Structure formats: structure tokens, C-alpha cells
Structure 1
Amino acid sequence: MSARTGEGVAELLRVIEDRLPEPDVELTVVVPYDRGDLVSSLHDAGSVETVDYVEDGTRLRVRVFQRQVAELDPYVVTPVAS
């Protein structure tokens, strides 16, 4: 890798990305509209797969790290069987 020419930087970034941990817990949550801070943190620290706006708040299907589950527990929804 060369800091001067940039040769190898793309490969280094790919290797780093491959080694970073990924969120492994999938949840569906409805976060009240007054908890925009929590929605923002999900975008920053998790992987937001879907976002919908419902009467009770922002409904998100997310992948998060285990350490985030306790904070989200009050907002977890059980999917309704169809």
C-alpha cells in the first residue's frame, strides 16, 4: 500500500470492512415519535432494513448488536400472523 499514490487503499478498505463485526439480532420495533434519538442511533449503530411510519411511531425492521437489545425491548413488536 502506498500513502503517496493511494495504491492498495481500496483493497485495505475492503479487508477492514470484511473484518468489522455485523449486527446479528433481527428485531421489528415501533419507536414512539418522541424518541427520534433512538431511531437515529439505530441508523448509526445498527442496520435498518425497513422504515414505516405508523400511528404509534416509527416502525423499523433492524439488525442490531446484542448489547442494544435491552434498550429496544420496550418497543419490540411481535409480527401478526397472516
Structure 2
Amino acid sequence: MAYVLLGLLKEVRPLWYYILAEILFVLLQLDYFLLSRVICNGLSMKVDGSFIATLLEILAVVVIYLAWRSITEDAWEDEAYHP
């Protein structure tokens, strides 16, 4: 993906979105597998790691969508499409 973004499209902003999505994904995996019991015990069994991991997963998907949207956007000239 880095080759396509930097080499072919010469776009930097979507690459930062993908890096942020990767960081969020790593955090959600760490939360889900390592910190779930700690979070559950620390918050008196009201919220567990799955809830926070789900929120991080939603954020990662939104960031991937933003990266995709920034790659596929184009400048359309209004005169060409309105007779």
C-alpha cells in the first residue's frame, strides 16, 4: 500500500491514515488479549476489554474509510457535467 500511495499516486495523507489504523488495530488486540482482565477488575466488572476493543475497532474502520475516501476523491469540473 505504501508503494501504491507514495510511488504511484504520490499521496502522503492516506498513508498516515493507514498508519493510524494500524496503531489502533494493535491497541485493540493488546486490549482484547492482555488488558481485558485488568480493565474488568479495575472498573468493578462494569466494563470489560471487549467493549473498549470494539470502540477501537470501530475507530480503525472509520480511519480506513477516511483513507479510502481521500485516495478516491477527485476534482470534478462542474461545467463538464452540467449542460
TM-score normalised according to structure 2 size: 0.27
Structure with greater helix percent: 2
What TM-score comes out, normalization by structure 1 length?
0.28
Larger radius of gyration: 2
